[in-house]
């Protein structure tokens, strides 16, 4: 159900810092407990004069087809909980398509029952208590509404990585409904997620690229040409283009950011999945 939760982060830079996020299929609920967050509009990234939009304390963001960046003021603390699109639609009743490339105040998106449960997290003092409370509320609704044959625990296992979830999704699409053809399965996937299987597979390869880079970095064997070959890219230039499309950065800039820049904290959180079974 839930892709993952990112821990409260505290921005300690002198005036704040940028936060970079890749293309994403997930729907996300974000809480800002302290400080302010502004979303950069358009393709401005980290330009000092970038146009920015201040966010509310409780935010819903839909799937993003382009990388995005935020500006976080010093001392900002927050929490993000990410839902895979099929789970999001089952739980909230809000279509993924209606949120694509949007960042909105949660009060304009969430059903009343979920909005009330999200708002009460502001009165809690620890992230563990917040997540436990939210999980219990969502699990109750999931049990009543889930029509896809997945238990909550089974979906959580499938969601460890994007690749795992996509494989489970494809299998479920093949075995659901009256029609079992490839075209009918792909229609179901698009209906459940708002994404075509081709685009999902592209994001899976993007995740695999990140993990391959991290693995090579840990072994001190960073060879972009070999990574491109191993992941099925036509050549190193193809790898660079796809990485920039998914993240906004070249593979080398992404590697440098992971090692040295606080603004890449979301990628480091994502990379923690590398060591999970």
| 4-18, 69-83, 102-116, 117-131: segment of lowest average pLDDT | 4-18
End-to-end CA distance of the chain: 17
3-state SS string for 87-143: HHHHHHCCCCHHHCCCEEEHHHCCCHHHHHHHHHHHHCCCHHHHHHHHHHHHHHHHH
**CATH code linked to domain 2-145:** 2.60.120
Compute the mean pLDDT over every residue in the chain, rounded to the nearest whole number: 81
Residue-wise pLDDT tens digits, 25-50? 889 999 999 999 998 876 555 566 67
Q: Lowest-confidence range among 77-86, 207-216, 225-234?
A: 207-216
Q: Could you report the per-residue pLDDT of 133-144, keeping only the tens digit for each?
A: 998 888 888 777
Averaged pLDDT for residues 176-187:
74
Q: What is the pLDDT of residues 228-257, one digit of tens each?
A: 888 888 888 998 888 888 888 888 888 888
- Which range is least confidently modeled, 81-90, 153-162, 209-218? 153-162
Backbone phi, psi, residue 57, to 5°: -75, -25
Q: What is the pLDDT of residue 113?
A: 94
| 86-100, 137-151, 186-200, 211-225, range with greatest mean pLDDT | 86-100
pLDDT, position 116: 96
Q: What ranges do the domains of the chain cover?
A: 2-145
- Give the DSSP H or E segment for 78: strand 77-83
Which residue from 51, 5, 8, 12 is spatially nearest to 262, judged by alpha carbons?
12
């Amino acid at each position: 159900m839930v892709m993952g939760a990112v821990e409260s982060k505290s921005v300690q830079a002198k005036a704040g810092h940028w936060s970079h996020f890749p293309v994403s299929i997930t729907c996300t609920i974000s809480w800002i407990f302290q400080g302010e967050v502004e979303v950069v509009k358009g393709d401005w990234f980290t330009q000092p004069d970038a146009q920015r939009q201040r966010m509310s304390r409780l935010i819903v963001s839909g799937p993003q087809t382009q990388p995005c960046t935020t500006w976080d003021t010093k001392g900002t603390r927050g929490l993000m909980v990410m839902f895979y699109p099929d789970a999001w639609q089952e739980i909230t009743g809000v279509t993924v398509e209606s949120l694509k490339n949007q960042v909105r105040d949660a009060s304009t998106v969430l059903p009343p029952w979920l909005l009330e449960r999200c708002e009460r997290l502001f009165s809690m003092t620890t992230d563990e208590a917040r997540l436990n409370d939210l999980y219990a509320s969502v699990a109750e609704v999931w049990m009543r509404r889930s029509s896809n044959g997945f238990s909550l625990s089974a979906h959580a296992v499938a969601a460890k990585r994007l690749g795992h979830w996509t494989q489970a999704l494809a299998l479920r699409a093949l075995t659901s409904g009256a029609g079992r053809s490839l075209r009918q399965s792909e229609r179901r996937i698009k209906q459940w997620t708002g994404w075509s299987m081709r685009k999902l597979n592209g994001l899976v390869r993007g995740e695999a690229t990140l993990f391959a880079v991290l693995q090579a970095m840990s072994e001190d064997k960073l060879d972009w040409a070999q990574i491109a070959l191993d992941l099925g890219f036509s050549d190193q230039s193809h790898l660079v283009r796809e990485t920039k499309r998914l993240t906004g950065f070249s593979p080398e800039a992404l590697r440098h950011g992971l090692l040295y820049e606080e603004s890449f904290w979301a990628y480091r959180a994502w990379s923690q999945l590398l060591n999970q079974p």
